[in-house]
Amino acid sequence: MSTATDSQRPKIVLDCDPGLDDALAILTAAHFGELIGITTVNGNVGIEHTTHNALITAQIAGLSAEVHRGAALPLIAPTMDAARVHGATGLGDVKLPELRRSLASDDAVTYLCDIARSVDDLNLVAVGPLTNVALALRRDPDLHNHLASLTIMGGAAHGGNVTPVAEFNIWADPEAAAIVFREAAPLTMVGLDVTHKVLLGGNEASQMRSAGTPVADFAADLLDYAYARCREYGLEAAPMHDATAVIAVTHPDLFHSSSHPVTVEIHGEHTRGMTVTDTRPLSNFVPGCGVPMHQVVWDADADAVIDLTVQACTAS
Ligand code: BDR
Ligand code: CA
């Protein structure tokens, strides 16, 4: 479906915590974008695992993108992982080859600060907890002004997945998310409002497997594991949250969004990690509101996004 030439492909740095859907996001970013670098963060599993998983994904797909290890801990919050979804080491039970690739550095924050200023038209896509991005903003408060866009997978205007109102990436480091939402406006929030509409399952895994390449087999194995976990939780298919966020950057015309004040709740006993989204008409004119406006993604052409995800995983 994509006909983008190299010069049209958006330049992307992907900040991630692989993670099943993060691994598919790496493949998607490399196929539809120009994936310049990958930074890793503690999240779905610990930093040693997320970094290993980013490297092994890049290796399997033959990517040249540099991999930089990032934050091992949230800013303040205790570490909470999502191993019950992604498996103890983050890539389910997928059989992996021996790792041959190595890190470009163990300082993702310095890399993010440098790359934002040295590469024009760079899109930063953050699909894990926002620890690295917050630390980079603390070091360079003007960082976001050197980016073409900052897109996150995280949050939701309505609902959550870890608590009734908090999504995992925000909940895992709410203080970092609060810094990013306060200081890097406008960002694009690809949250559960849209990612829960882009569901993949056995059909897509079969399509991937029939491609018969090592990358497609790897992607199918990841999807099969995610799909099996989702069925255990009573869901009929698996959201590929992070790949959806990447496609929101590479194919923005497939998505519907609008601008709203969004702030991250860090204190609430029952609401910590909530992305409080003001959808009142004219909310930006409420005197003294003072909450930065962000682009909230609500909906997508789900079939097209699913097709593109499969396409990214089955390209040779
Ligand atoms: C997000 O949480 C993680 O488990 C996924 O990788 C995704 O980034 C969805 O809430
Ligand atoms: Ca993730």
Convert the pLDDT of each residue in 231-251 to its tens digit.
998 888 999 999 999 999 999
Judge whether 255 lies within some domain: yes
Give the Å distance between the CA of 44 and the centre of ligand 2.
7
**Ligand 1 pocket residue status of 241, Cβ below 6 Å:** yes
Judge whether 3 lies within some domain: no
User: pTM to 2 decimals?
Assistant: 0.96
pLDDT at 6: 62
**Ligand 1 pocket residue status of 170, Cβ below 6 Å:** no
Q: What is the mean pLDDT of the chain?
A: 95
Give yes or no for residue 100 having a pLDDT over 50. yes
Cβ-based burial of 307 (10 A; exposed 0-12, middle 13-18, buried ≥19): middle
Unique residue bearing structure tokens 């980079």 = 136
Q: Can you give the chain as a three-state secondary structure string? A: CCCCCHHHCCEEEEEECCCHHHHHHHHHHHHHCEEEEEEECCCCCCHHHHHHHHHHHHHHHCCCCEEECCCCCCCCCCCCCCHHHHCCCCCCCCCCCCCCCCCCECCHHHHHHHHHHHCCCEEEEECCCCHHHHHHHHHCCCHHHHCCEEEEECCCCCCCCCCCCECHHHHCCHHHHHHHHHHCCCCEEECHHHHCCCEECHHHHHHHHHHCCHHHHHHHHHHHHHHHHHHHCCCCCEECHHHHHHHHHHCHHHEEEEEEEEEECCCCCCCCCEEEECCCCCHHHCCCCCCCEEEEEEEECHHHHHHHHHHHHHCC
Give yes or no for residue 287 having a pLDDT over 60. no
pLDDT at 8: 85
Judge whether 5 lies within some domain: no
Give the Å distance between the CA of 129 and the centre of ligand 2.
8
What average pLDDT score do residues 112-127 get? 98
Judge whether 113 lies within some domain: yes
pLDDT at 14: 98
- Residues of the domain holding 204: 11-282+289-313
Give yes or no for residue 282 having a pLDDT over 80. no
**Ligand 1 pocket residue status of 244, Cβ below 6 Å:** no
Judge whether 76 lies within some domain: yes
Which percentage of the chain shows pLDDT scores above 90?
92
CA–CA gap between residue 231 and residue 61 (Å, rounded): 28
Judge whether 226 lies within some domain: yes
Q: Give the residue whose CA is nearest to atom 2 of ligand 1.
A: 168
Judge whether 103 lies within some domain: yes
Q: For strand 34-40 and strand 66-68, is the pairing parallel, antiparallel, or unpaired?
A: parallel
pLDDT at 7: 66
Residues 16/243, Cβ–Cβ less than 8 Å: no
* pLDDT tens-digit series, residues 18-69: 999 999 999 999 999 999 999 999 999 999 999 999 999 999 999 999 999 9
Respond yes or no: is residue 241 known to be catalytic. Answer: yes
* pLDDT tens-digit series, residues 132-160: 999 999 999 999 999 999 999 999 999 99
Selecting among 52, 68, 86, 241, the annotated active-site residue is 241
Report the CATH number at residue 40.
3.90.245.10
* pLDDT tens-digit series, residues 200-231: 999 999 999 999 999 999 999 999 999 999 99
Ligand 1 pocket test, pick from 127, 173, 195, 197 with the greatest ligand atom count within 8 Å of Cβ, gives 127
Give the Å distance between the CA of 164 and the centre of ligand 2.
19
Instruction: Name the token pair of 171.
Output: 């909940």
Ligand 1 pocket test, pick from 53, 153, 275 with the greatest ligand atom count within 8 Å of Cβ, gives 153
User: Number of structural domains, the chain?
Assistant: 1
Residue 281: which pLDDT band, with cuts at 50, 70 and 90?
confident
Judge whether 171 lies within some domain: yes
